[in-house]
Amino acid sequence: PAVAIRHPEELSLLRAPEEKDKRKQKEKEETTAQSYDLTSVRLPASAEQQTFRGMPAHFSDSAETEGCYRMLSVSQTSVTPEQIVRMHRPGSLVEKTRINSRWLDSSRTLLQQGVKEQECLWLRFKYYSFFDLEPKVNAVRINQLYEQARWSVLLEETECTEEEMIVFAALQYRINQLSLNATPAEQSSESGLDDLEKALANLEVKLEGPDSTLNVLDSLTAIPELKDHLRIFRPRKLTLKGYKQYWVTFKETTISYFKSAEDALGEPVQQLNLKGCEVVPDVNISGQKFCIKLLIPSPDGMSEIHLRCAEEQQYASWMAGCRLAAKGKTMADSSYQAEKENILSFLKLQKTNPEMSLTAETEGTQWLMSPRYQKKFKPKQVSFVLQAAVVISHNPPGGRLP
């Protein structure tokens, strides 16, 4: 297709929402958005796409078509909080559910479905199930997937937790930094290295031989456990009680705490299953504060509990374990050590840069979050997004934030 999106069957047309607020509708009409004419793009003779200067050859005919390809394949960074506020956002749960009623039927013509001339339609990915996503040949498709996810979060069409918002904001910040200097040629310049790395990885698997599977199974038979003294606090209304020290054990996805180590053979004071819980870090290096806030689903709502560690190594071990347990994984999972190292690298970053508030850029990061979180987050929390973005840039893709 002209827009160079592989597997176009994943896309469907969606009616744009009607703006009820007349003032916002007027502002939207007065705003002049840059338009791109794809009718001038000449389609290739064969189905297989040939590349030239890092882009499909049929996009390299002119500066205008190259601009079209860059718009489709590189994330757009020129977004302001004012633009987000002006855009349509679902105001209630009912409006969010109505989004799915606006999809057009691909088996019927536009005329049959009452689409008028000059009516605005959106081209969107309807189902979140995708075929092979190869960066070398799917630049447009991957970027459009990211843009759709990005705007669904910013416009609050998709619900997310505070931790997820911080992680997504940090990823946006990093992607925007790379997009400012990205060119189509740069995107494909490392293809030779990618092929070499893939070949070396395949060779490594072959050299390991059939016994490697047995070694992996042996390593999973013994699930690591954590046992240590931690200070625990359960926030409750009308109480002045603070942190109290307990003997805490962490086995598989369950945390149990006892009054002392000697009582560990008996019944615990409380046992917490962390599957599906929300894990929020609360760290202050200068104040030697290493806390883990757990929001655990319960029949009565969300149950909140705070774990306070004594030092960095202890915090990294327990935080990594909590993160995996929230996803239903144990500390025997292969990602546990990588998770722990990511947390320690983040703490080290804060320690070497104690004044890393980045206040000059803090205001500019507001548009990385939805309006609801823009109001909620304080400058200190927004600066955490910038610090997290630095951690992402120093860790391989797929790594988690501390």
Digit-coded pLDDT (tens) for 13-33: 888 887 665 555 555 555 555
Amino acid 383: pLDDT: 62
Domain endpoint, select from 115, 135, 155? 135
Q: Classify residue 264: in a domain, yes or no.
A: yes
DSSP string, 251-274: ETTEEEEESSGGGGGS--SEEEE-
Residue 324, domain CATH: 2.30.29.30
Amino acid 317: pLDDT: 94
Q: Classify residue 193: in a domain, yes or no.
A: no
Average pLDDT, integer, range 90-108: 82
Amino acid 129: pLDDT: 76
Between CA 145 and CA 157 the distance in angstroms is: 15
DSSP string, 303-317: EEEEEEESSHHHHHH
pLDDT over 60 at 355, yes or no: no
Most confident option among 284-298, 350-364, 381-395:
284-298
Q: pLDDT band for 241, please (50, 70, 90 cuts).
A: confident
Q: Classify residue 160: in a domain, yes or no.
A: no
Say which residues have a Cβ less than 8 Å from residue 382's Cβ, sequence separation at least 6.
Answer: 362, 365, 366, 369
- In terms of domains, do 22 and 131 share one? yes
Average pLDDT, integer, range 212-241: 71
Q: Classify residue 238: in a domain, yes or no.
A: yes
Amino acid 361: pLDDT: 46
Amino acid 247: pLDDT: 95
Domain endpoint, select from 92, 108, 135? 135
Whether 290 and 311 have beta carbons less than 8 Å apart is answered as yes
Tokens 């199974």 belong to residue: 217
Amino acid 371: pLDDT: 77
- In terms of domains, do 22 and 124 share one? yes
Most confident option among 206-215, 283-292, 370-379:
283-292
Q: Classify residue 282: in a domain, yes or no.
A: yes
pLDDT over 70 at 252, yes or no: yes
Domain endpoint, select from 331, 361, 382? 331
pLDDT digits (tens, 9 = 90+) for 120-176: 888 888 887 777 777 777 778 888 888 888 888 888 888 888 778 878 888 887 777
Residues forming beta bridges with residue 272, ordered by sequence position: 255
The DSSP call for residue 331 is T
DSSP string, 143-209: HHHHHHHHHHHHTTSS---HHHHHHHHHHHHHHHHHHHT--HHHHHTTHHHHHHHHHHHHHHHHHH-
Q: Classify residue 397: in a domain, yes or no.
A: no
Between CA 231 and CA 251 the distance in angstroms is: 18
- Could you give the number of structural domains in the chain? 2
User: Which has more pLDDT, 115 or 198?
Assistant: 115
Q: Classify residue 354: in a domain, yes or no.
A: no
Average pLDDT, integer, range 371-387: 68
Whether 162 and 280 have beta carbons less than 8 Å apart is answered as yes
Which residue range forms the structural domain that includes residue 299? 225-331
Q: Is residue 139 classed exposed, middle or buried when 0-12, 13-18 and 19+ CB atoms within 10 A define those classes?
A: buried
Under DSSP, is residue 25 helix (H, G, I), strand (E, B) or coil? helix
Q: Classify residue 127: in a domain, yes or no.
A: yes
pLDDT over 50 at 189, yes or no: no
User: Which has more pLDDT, 64 or 207?
Assistant: 64
